[in-house]
Amino acid sequence: MTKKLHPQTLAIRGGKEETQYREHNQALFMTSSFMWESAAHAADLFSKKVKGFTYTRTANPTTAAFEKRLAQLEGAERAVATSSGMSAIQAAFFTFLQAGDHIVSGRGLFGTTAGFIDTVVRKFGIEVSYVSTTDIGEWQAAIRPNTKLFFLETPSNPLGEVADLRALADLAHRHGALLAVDNSLMSPYGQRPLEQGADISVQSATKALDGHGRVAGGVLAGSEALMAQVAVYCNSCGLAISPFNSWELLSGIETLSLRMEKQFAQALAVAQWLQTQPQVKAVYYSGLPEHPQRELVERQQNGGGIVIGFELEDQAAAWKVIDSVEVFSRTANLGDVRSTITHPWTTTHARMSPEDKLAAGITQGLVRLSVGLEVVEDLIDDLKQAFA
């Protein structure tokens, strides 16, 4: 075929590791090692003179298929899968950093990522500056001669503030630093950071890529040169994903665009309904037509994603709604086909001091939703009865 296929077609059709049995679906290779035809064949495999598999910590055919298809979706030369989103973030940091280096990170981070930076990364003699995710001037001012990495999430969770990736990439590259973006909440359907100039797109596959709340996984995408280094790091540290999880994630990404298209549309409908409710003081969703950064959102994102933040009067009002829902699940998972509801102040952001939470825009009345695939009228009716 001469016509270039769309990424989503390649996520279904591309990157298959097929055996002599000509199985239609990608086979699950649940084996820790692979045999060699001869001593010479083994030597050729280990010296990379011939391509093949040796050991699942290093590479596995099912995982290789997942990596190839995810690379297609992210518009990357190569992707490397890991055991969880956190191991992918660890690899994004430690493959490229050493003691004495400095990183600049957006302040609005997933809680465990912030904990990882503050307790693990700093312990290895790496300096960290936190800045406002959206204020390019703060990023610029934070740069030091030893700055090696910019790291952020955009849009921020759950306030939906959007960082200009193109501007951040230019700034990072002018100072010899890499730009890594956590793309867990948007998925490659909603945003392709590499096309905006980022060097690494890292994500928790546990979220939208799986989409069904079944398995943990992580994945990094970028150039062949960077990902080759990441693969060596992951092999050395034993961060490999289980082939079973890769196999589940393969079926997850086959329906990714279908799920995300519908879930993004439903999230917009829920956000717009929330705007009409007198109890709701503010709605945060980057897909709203009146979002203050609308032009940037349209240039950088394909929709607003699945996460909505909205503010009620106080914690009592927030807890009352959370305790009254019957369809939404009270759990922190995001990107699932099941809609979820949480109170960031006392759960995902509980480890932060009250002052830090308020500085990050997390108030006691804030509620976070992840919108799933249930019929949207049922979701709105559920919130309606919980508000009443």
Ligand X SMILES: *Cc1c(COP(=O)(O)O)cnc(C)c1O
Residues that bind ligand X (CB under 6 A): 84-86, 110, 112-113, 153, 182, 184-185, 204, 206-207, 216, 218, 334
- The least distance separating ligand X from the CB of residue 191, rounded to whole angstroms, comes to 12
Pair 11, 254: CB distance under 8 Å: yes
- The least distance separating ligand X from the CB of residue 197, rounded to whole angstroms, comes to 20
Nearer to ligand X, 192 or 207 (CB): 207
- The least distance separating ligand X from the CB of residue 23, rounded to whole angstroms, comes to 28
Nearer to ligand X, 291 or 368 (CB): 368
Nearer to ligand X, 62 or 340 (CB): 340
Distances from the Cα of 187 to the Cαs of 71, 127, 264, 378, 381, in angstroms? Answer: 12, 29, 11, 25, 28
Alpha helices (H) along the chain: 7-13, 39-46, 61-74, 85-94, 111-115, 136-142, 165-174, 187-190, 224-237, 243-254, 256-275, 294-300, 315-324, 354-359, 376-387
Nearer to ligand X, 53 or 222 (CB): 222
Kindly compute the dihedral angle of the four CA atoms of residues 291, 297, 299, 300, in this order, to the nearest 10 degrees: 180
Q: Is the dihedral of CA 380, 381, 384, 385 positive or negative?
A: negative
- The least distance separating ligand X from the CB of residue 85, rounded to whole angstroms, comes to 2
Nearer to ligand X, 86 or 162 (CB): 86
Q: Measure the CA–CA gap between 10 and 355, rounded to whole angstroms.
A: 47
- As given in the structure block, the two tokens for residue 378 are 């049922």
Q: Which residue's Cβ has the minimum distance to ligand X?
A: 85
- The least distance separating ligand X from the CB of residue 113, rounded to whole angstroms, comes to 6
Nearer to ligand X, 156 or 317 (CB): 156
- The least distance separating ligand X from the CB of residue 40, rounded to whole angstroms, comes to 41
Q: Measure the CA–CA gap between 250 and 11, rounded to whole angstroms.
A: 8
